[in-house]
Amino acid sequence: MDQVRRELGDCQRCKLCSGRKNIVFGTGNPRAELVFVGEGPGENEDLQGVPFVGAAGDLLTKMIEAMGFRRDDIYICNVVKCRPPGNRNPEPDEIAACEPFLRAQLAAIQPKVVVALGKFAAQTLLRDSTPITRMRGAWRVYEGIQLMPTFHPAYLLRNPAEKRKAWEDLQAVMKIFGKNPGSRA
Ligand code: URA
């Protein structure tokens, strides 16, 4: 993983480098069995250099803990490592520039399960343009690793009624780890 970070260096491979304060590479256990992949850093993440530390991050942390894990147990990273201005969606050229590093991170970790948070993570890793509303909740395989697509926590903050479905998806992940799925909604 250190080698992947070194290779990324002071990255100037796409235009996102001009507006960033920090590269948000990833955080957690580089030998994790479970990895969460988000979209890209927001304002707080850019300032701190750590993924998922804003409002969506608080919800993700709650979801992780409800699953019986701690943030330190798992690994968290994003499709793009630099903040898109004004939190706009990452553009195809930006995703293309950053994707090799995401793939290298997952290759270094070799987790048992990847949870793809939202359409950018799911569509990028699976090279599948199916909407996340249709992809979520069904196991997929990414490079021999089981992958569960689910909703992005920022989407859940805007659409709390969808939390139940996301929790179902995470319960399927817990089963793989022998964690006891309760009835939390
Ligand atoms: N949303 C993401 O997709 N990633 C982050 O790191 C923070 C918010």
DSSP secondary structure, 101-120, as one string: HHHHHHHHH--SEEEEEHHH
Q: Does 39 contact ligand 1 (Cβ within 6 A)?
A: yes
- The atom of ligand 1 lying closest to the CA of 152 is 3
In a domain, 182, yes or no: no
Q: Using a pLDDT cut of 90, give the percent of the chain over it.
A: 97
- The pTM score is 0.96
In a domain, 57, yes or no: yes
Ligand 1 centroid, distance to 37 Cα (angstroms)? 9
Tell me the CATH number at 15.
Answer: 3.40.470.10
In a domain, 6, yes or no: yes
Please name the residues in contact with 172: beta carbons below 8 A apart, sequence gap of 6 or more. Answer: 137, 139, 148
Q: Does 151 contact ligand 1 (Cβ within 6 A)?
A: no
Domain hosting residue 57, numbered range: 2-175
pLDDT at res. 182 = 58
In a domain, 139, yes or no: yes
What span, in angstroms and rounded, lies between the C-alpha atoms of 134 and 20? 33
37: closest CA among 47, 48, 24?
24
